[in-house]
Amino acid sequence: MTLSVQVMGDDTRPGVLDEQTNSAILAARAAAELPARFVWGAATSAYQIEGAVTAGGRGPSIWDTFASTPGKTWRGESGDPACDHYHRYAEDVRLMADLGLGAYRFSVAWPRIQPTGQGPANPAGIAFYDRLVDELLAAGIDPWPTMYHWDLPQALQDRGGWVERDTAYRFGDYVALVADALSDRVRHWSTLNEPWCAAFEGHMSGRHAPGIQSPVAAVRVVHHLLVGHGLAVAALRSRGEAEVGISLNLIPAEPADDSPGAEDAARLVDGQQIRLFLDPLLRGRYPDDVVGDFARAGAELPIVGDDAKLIGSPIDWIGVNYYSPHIVLAGTDPRRTSPFIPGDAVLSVRTTEDVTALGWPVRPRCFAALLRRLHRDYPGIPLYVHENGAAFHDVVSAGGEVDDSDRRGYLARHIDVVREVAVDGVDVRGYFAWSLFDNYEWAEGYRMRFGIVHVDFATQRRTLKASGRWYSQLIKTHRQTRGT
Ligand code: FCB
C-alpha cells in the first residue's frame, strides 16, 4: 500500500493538510509498512509515577532529598504523590490493555528493593514488582523493566554515590536480587536509563539530583555507571536467557551556524552525548577526542584493569531516547550551568520556531538522521525507540476532553520517521511513547505534561487524550493489517 502525503515538518511547508488528517494518514502508513513483529509500547519511570515514597519500607532516594532542598525543583514539587501508581497499578494495567499496548517500559525503584542500597532484598519491594509483572502478563503486555532511572538510594549517596566505584558493585548486587525475583517471567531488561543525564545533569550542571557541579565528579560518574552496566549485564546473563540492553538519550548536535567554533561545539556535544557511551559499549574503547575534552577540564575517566571488556560485554539492543536536537555555538552558558565539559565550551542556542512547552525544537528530520547514523556507525545492533514524546500545555475541556493535537502531530511525525528508516533497512524493532501518563517531570515538577493519558493530580483521575486515542488506533490497525 502506498500513500502519497505531504508531511508537515521541518522539511516541508506546513499547512497543506490539517494536523488531524495528516496524523491519520501517517498512522495508516505506519500500520501498513512496519513489520508484523514491531513492538508498540509506552514508558514511565518509578520516581515519576509511583508516589508512595515510604510505603513497603522504601528508603529515601537522591531525588527525595533533591526535591526537598529549597530552589531545586519547580515550586519544590517532588515525586510524592505523582500518579500514585504504587496503589493504582492494577487499574493502570487495565488502561494499558485497553490502549492495546504490547509492551510496557517501567523502572524498578532501587530504594524499594534495598532501602539503604545494600543487603538482602526487601520483600515488600520485590512483591510490588511481582504483582505488577503478573498483572502485565495476564493482560498480554510484555514487561520491559529498567534497573536504574536515577533514583539512587540516599544512603549510597551519603557514601559518595556514583562518584565512587563501590556504587557500581552495589548496583550489580541489586540487579541480581531483582533478576532472582523476576527473570522467570521477564525477558527484556534495560540496565540504565540515560546515564548521560545521571552523570552530566546530576554532577556537572547540577540541575538534577544529587545537584553536584564538578567536571571531575561527572566524568567519574560516567565510568562508574558504565561499570555498573557491565556488572548488571553479567548478573542478568548468569540468570538465564535474558535479552539485555541499555537506554541512552542520543541527542544529536546541530551547529547553529557554519563557524568553526560552532562545528567544534557540535563535535564536543556529539562526543559527550553519543560516542562517549556507544563507543565503549559497542567498540570497546572511549573516543580519544572526548578524553581530550575532559583533560582540558582536569577530569579523567577512572579506568581500572579490564573495565573495557566489562563495559563492552555483548548486549542485545540499544534503547534510543530521542526528543530533540541540541543547537550549539562555541561559548559560555550565561547561567553557568552547562552540562558539557569543559563548562565554557558550549552555548546551547534556544529557538522559538516549532518548539514544545519546554522549548525543545521539534525536528523529526534530525531523528531520521540519528537512526540512519546509528545503523551506519554501529552496525548489527538492533534498536528500540525507548522514549519519544513531547510536553505541551494541555487544555482540559468542560467535558473533560484533552484535544492535544500538537502532541498527536509530534508522535505521528516521529513514528513516520521510524517507518521510513525501517523500510530502508534500519533495524528498529519497536517504539515506546514517552509517556503513558502525565507525571513528575523531575526539576520541572508537574507542570510539564508528556502523557498520552491525562492525570488530574488532585483526584488521580486518568483520561485518555486525543494523542492516546490516535496511538491506540494505530496499534490496533497495525495488528489487524499485519495479522498479529
Ligand atoms: C528523559 C527521561 C524521562 C523524561 C523525559 C521527558 O530524559 O528519561 O524520565 O523525563 O526525558
The pLDDT value recorded for residue 483 is 78
416 lines ligand 1 (CB under 6 A): no
200 lines ligand 1 (CB under 6 A): no
> Which residue reads 496511538 in cell numbers?
471
Residue 250 CA to residue 386 CA, distance in Å, equals 11
> What is the whole-number distance in angstroms between the Cα of residue 435 and the centre of ligand 1?
9
> What is the whole-number distance in angstroms between the Cα of residue 16 and the centre of ligand 1?
32
What tens digit of pLDDT does each residue of 243-286 get? 999 999 999 999 999 999 999 999 999 999 999 999 999 999 99
Q: Which atom of ligand 1 is nearest to the CA of 450?
A: 6
> What is the whole-number distance in angstroms between the Cα of residue 146 and the centre of ligand 1?
13
The residues carrying an active-site annotation are 194, 387
The residue nearest atom 9 of ligand 1, judged by CA position, is 45
Low-confidence stretches of the chain (pLDDT beneath 70) = 1-16
> What is the whole-number distance in angstroms between the Cα of residue 44 and the centre of ligand 1?
9
Residue 78 CA to residue 58 CA, distance in Å, equals 15
Residue 318 CA to residue 378 CA, distance in Å, equals 10
The pLDDT value recorded for residue 241 is 74
Using alpha carbons, select from 214, 324, 336, 338 the residue that is nearest to residue 265. Answer: 338
For 27, the grid coordinates are 498512522
> What is the whole-number distance in angstroms between the Cα of residue 199 and the centre of ligand 1?
14
The residues facing 39 across adjacent strands are: 430
92 lines ligand 1 (CB under 6 A): no
439 lines ligand 1 (CB under 6 A): no
The pLDDT value recorded for residue 335 is 84
434 lines ligand 1 (CB under 6 A): yes
For the residues of 211-273, what is the DSSP string, one character each?
Answer: ----HHHHHHHHHHHHHHHHHHHHHHHTTSS-EEEEEEE---EEESSSSHHHHHHHHHHHIII
On the question of a cis peptide bond just before residue 115, with omega within 30 degrees of 0, the verdict is no
387 lines ligand 1 (CB under 6 A): yes
The pLDDT value recorded for residue 16 is 63
The pLDDT value recorded for residue 6 is 39
The residue nearest atom 10 of ligand 1, judged by CA position, is 441
From 73, 437, 441, give the residue whose CB has the most ligand 1 atoms within 8 Å, as the site to mutate. 441
The pLDDT value recorded for residue 240 is 87
Q: Which atom of ligand 1 is nearest to the CA of 249?
A: 7
Provide the pairing of β-strand 188-193 with 39-43: unpaired
pTM for the complete prediction? 0.96
> What is the whole-number distance in angstroms between the Cα of residue 214 and the centre of ligand 1?
22
